[in-house]
């Protein structure tokens, strides 16, 4: 398994929902796209995009999305825009429920890019891989306070 897939699977299993989270909406399900494509969002121009992590609401509609990127570049920014536009705003601040995961030390760069392109998001997270372990550290949270862990 490559590093990106390792992070995707860790985040999906440990953050959507958090272990022990009691307020996770009933009927929500978390899917990973990677080796197998499982859930997509429609593109405005037609076609589909397959976010790294897709949370489906009780009706099977994508509502929360996660993207794991190892670099902050124009390609990543375009994906973030697409995901932001498809994510819902059901949180205490009304921002889009998009979570961006970048390597440790790239949080400031990701935040600057999101803000420069006026992309609404709920959180920027930094990740580290240490052998079989992945550690995720919140960099900034604009959605629910509960998510800053």
pLDDT value for 149: 63
pLDDT digits (tens, 9 = 90+) for 47-84: 999 999 999 999 999 999 999 999 999 999 999 999 99
Strands 123-130 and 41-42: unpaired
The fold of the 3-17+27-147 domain, in CATH, is Trna Endonuclease; Chain: A, domain 1 (3.40.1350)
Task: State yes or no: pLDDT of 146 exceeds 70.
Answer: no
Mean pLDDT of 103-123: 98
* Element of type H or E holding 12: helix 3-14
Reduced to 3 states (helix: H, G, I; strand: E, B; else coil), residue 98 is: strand
Q: Which long-range contacts (CB under 8 A, 24 or more apart) does 125-132 make?
A: 125/11, 125/99, 125/100, 125/101, 126/101, 126/102, 127/7, 127/11, 127/68, 127/101, 127/102, 127/103, 128/103, 128/104, 129/3, 129/6, 129/7
pLDDT, mean over the chain: 93
pLDDT score of 130 more than 80: yes
- Could you tell me the residue ranges of all domains in the chain? 3-17+27-147
């Amino acid at each position: 398994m490559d590093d990106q897939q390792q992070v995707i699977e860790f985040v999906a299993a440990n953050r959507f929902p958090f272990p022990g989270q009691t307020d996770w909406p009933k009927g929500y399900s978390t899917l990973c796209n990677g080796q197998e494509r499982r859930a997509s969002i429609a593109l405005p121009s037609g076609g589909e995009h397959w976010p790294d992590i897709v949370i489906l609401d009780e009706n099977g509609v994508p509502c929360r999305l996660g993207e794991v990127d190892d670099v902050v570049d124009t390609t990543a920014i375009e994906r973030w825009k697409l995901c932001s536009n498809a994510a819902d705003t059901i949180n205490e601040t009304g921002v889009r429920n998009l979570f961006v995961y970048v390597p440790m030390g790239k949080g400031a760069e990701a935040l600057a890019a999101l803000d420069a392109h006026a992309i609404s998001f709920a959180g920027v997270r930094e990740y580290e891989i240490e052998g079989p372990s992945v550690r995720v550290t919140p960099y900034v949270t604009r959605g629910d306070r509960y998510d800053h862990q």
